[in-house]
Amino acid sequence: MSLCKTTATCIVVAIFCLLPIISSAQGVPSPAFPPEPLTLATAETTALANQPRMLAAQLRARESAQRIREARSGFFPTVGFNATGVRVADVGTSTAAGALTTSSISDRFAYGGNLTQLVTDFGRTSALVGSARSTAEAQNDLATLTRAQVRLNVRNAYFRVLGADAVLRAAQAAQANRHLIARQLTALAQSQLRSTVDVNFAEVLASEADLAVVRAQSVVAQQRAALATAMGTSQSITSPLVEVELPETLPLDAESFLKQAQAKRADLSAVEAQQRAASQFATAEKRLSYPTLNVLGAAGQVPYHDRSLQGDYAAAGFNLNIPIFTGGLFAGRRAEAELEASARTRDVQQLKLQVSEEVRDSWYQADEAYKSLDVTTRLVAQSKEALRLAQARYDAGLGSIVELNEAQLNETSAEITAADATYTYLSRRTELDYAAGLLN
């Protein structure tokens, strides 16, 4: 008996294993699995990996880091290789024009190298390196700002989709309810228990509910397209979205967010770094008028030469350059750089004012949305109770269809407002977090 059971079990398992193959062979499509739910964290991760803005900001940060190497190259020696060959047309030819000294030209071929090493330029190269380093820091801060903006856009788009879905569900519930009432009133009118006027009112409300569903479906499709763009993908987002828990209670004032914004806002850090870069560049431009001392060296061979030249050569020396008169070039560059540094200081002050205003405005809007949650909850409860009473009055013959329809409209409006209020608060809280620099 147990052997039979075992054999039967094996046959059943084999049949289930062969079902997909048989269905495929017969052209029967396999059952489609629903798409995986999309979480907010997954949407953000996808956006940070795919958004062209994010990738471009990262590349510019890497590009800016290379300018530090360019500036630091002034500390290192430069080495070059030269090869020269000369064939004189007439013996005793010399050069005179175009040079302060006259030198004879002789047949020769020579090759060798030269070296130049900066000894000191009185800190100009150091100031240029500092300016390049501050510029790179500013570019990194701008990349961080882009990251925060990408996360902000994804969250807002995600919450708008959730809100549109909630509104669609409320509209569909109202649609089903109104069509049910219309069918009931039609049946009562056929039994001459209700008038055709009541039926007409109910059918008008049912048609309005149909229109509301069509509009809500369109909004859902549009918001899902916006979410796909925010995530940096061209594919349609068809996955159901996972609900997001409400954040912790909003603080009583905006002061804590203001302190965080002053310390964490990436754009504020960027303008401060740009101000430092401008100040260091002004220092470098000021030191243009200082002397520059270089050590020079050269060595090589002259394998083909006349008897007046040696076969090998080597020399070392120095060059001291002291600017005397440049026609006002250095003075103009110094003044330009100093004015730019002063303007950058004012930019920092202006942005601090804007950041404070943005944080306060975002906090007020988030506080309004947070307080609206309780109000909309009470509004839904009150509208449901009003609808219940209106329905009871209408069933008892004490109320009119107009009163019942108005109660239905108020209840539907309250449901949609409540559905949208939660996601409005989530969006405004996200904007507050962005203003405070918490999305970096």
Quick check: is 28 in a domain? no
Domains in the chain, number: 1
Q: Using 50, 70 and 90 to split pLDDT, how confident is the model at 92?
A: low
What is the average pLDDT across 65-91? Answer: 86
Looking at residue 17, its pLDDT comes to 42
pLDDT confidence band for 5 (50 / 70 / 90): very low
pLDDT of 20 above 80: no
CA distances from 35 to 38, 167, 239, 252 (A): 9, 22, 5, 41
CA-closest candidate to residue 419, choices 163, 155, 211: 163
| pLDDT given at position 420 | 84
CATH number at residue 269: 1.20.1600.10
- pLDDT 10s digits, 102-115: 556 677 788 899 99
| Spacing of C-alpha 369 from chain mean position | 25
> pLDDT of 291-337, one tens digit each?
999 999 999 988 877 776 677 888 999 999 999 998 999 999 999 99
Question: Does residue 9 fall inside a structural domain?
Answer: no
Instruction: Tell me, yes or no, whether 335 lies in a domain.
Output: yes
- Domain presence at residue 68: yes
Provide the 3-class DSSP secondary structure of residue 327.
Answer: coil
Mean of per-residue pLDDT scores for the chain: 85
- The pLDDT tens digits for 350-408 are 999 999 999 999 999 999 999 998 898 899 899 889 988 888 887 777 877 778 778 88
Q: How far apart are CA 195 and CA 225, in angstroms?
A: 46
Question: Nearest-CA neighbor of 38 among 228, 197, 222, 192?
Answer: 228
Distance (Å) of CA 82 to CA 98, 111, 113, 181, 305: 22, 6, 6, 98, 16
pLDDT at 307: 72
Q: What's residue 24's pLDDT?
A: 42
Residue whose structure tokens are 């996955």: 239
Is position 256 within any domain? yes
pLDDT band at 13 (very low <50, low <70, confident <90, very high): very low
Q: Is the pLDDT of residue 21 over 50?
A: no
Provide the pLDDT for residue 88. Answer: 67
Task: Please check whether residue 327 lies inside any domain of the structure.
Answer: yes
Helical pair 124-190 and 52-72, crossing angle rounded to 10 deg: 180
Question: Is residue 19 pLDDT above 70, yes or no?
Answer: no
Rounded-to-integer distance, Cα 388 and Cα 369, Å:
28
| Percent residues over pLDDT 90 in the chain | 56
The residue among 229 and 416 whose pLDDT is bigger is 229
What is the 3 state secondary structure string of the chain? CHHHHHHHHHHHHHHHHHHHHHHHHCCCCCCCCCCCCECHHHHHHHHHHHCHHHHHHHHHHHHHHHHHHHHHHHHCCEEEEEEEEECCCCCCCEECCCCCCCEECCCEEEEEEEEEEEEECCCHHHHHHHHHHHHHHHHHHHHHHHHHHHHHHHHHHHHHHHHHHHHHHHHHHHHHHHHHHHHHHHHHHHCCCCCHHHHHHHHHHHHHHHHHHHHHHHHHHHHHHHHHHHCCCCCCCCCCECCCCCCCCCCCCCHHHHHHHHHHCHHHHHHHHHHHHHHHHHHHHHHHHCCEEEEEEEEEEEEEECCCCCCEEEEEEEEEECCCCCCCHHHHHHHHHHHHHHHHHHHHHHHHHHHHHHHHHHHHHHHHHHHHHHHHHHHHHHHHHHHHHHHHHHHCCCCCHHHHHHHHHHHHHHHHHHHHHHHHHHHHHHHHHHHCCCCC
Q: Does a structural domain hold residue 427? A: yes
pLDDT at residue 7, as a whole number = 43
For residue 21, the surrounding DSSP H or E stretch is helix 2-25
| 49-58, 267-276, 301-310: least confidently modelled range | 301-310
Q: For residue 220, what are the contacts with CB-CB under 8 A and spacing of at least 6?
A: 161, 164, 165, 168
pLDDT at position 362 is: 94
pTM attached to this predicted model: 0.80
pLDDT attached to residue 105: 66
Distance CA 369, CA 274 (A): 37
The rounded radius of gyration (Å) of the Cα atoms in the chain is 40
Contact indicator for 237, 155 with CB cutoff of 8 Å? no
Say yes or no to pLDDT of 1 above 60: no
- Is pLDDT larger for residue 238 or for residue 96? 238
pLDDT of residue 201: 82
Q: Specify whether the backbone of 111 is left (phi greater than 0), alpha (psi in -120 to 50) or beta.
A: beta
Q: What is the mean pLDDT of residues 228-236?
A: 91
Greatest mean pLDDT among 27-31, 34-38, 352-356 lies in 352-356
Mean pLDDT of 418-432: 90
Domain containing 285 equals 36-85+106-435
pLDDT digits (tens, 9 = 90+) for 111-141: 899 999 999 999 999 999 999 999 999 999 9
Query: What span, in angstroms and rounded, lies between the C-alpha atoms of 199 and 275?
Result: 73
pLDDT of residue 15: 37
Rounded to an integer, the average pLDDT of 24-50 is: 74
Q: Is residue 8 assigned to a domain?
A: no
Q: pLDDT over 70 for what percent of the chain?
A: 88
Mean pLDDT of 146-163: 95
Q: What is the band of 90 on the pLDDT scale with cuts at 50, 70, 90?
A: low
Interval 187-213: pLDDT, tens = 888 887 777 888 888 888 889 889 989
CA distances from 261 to 266, 355, 439 (A): 9, 7, 11
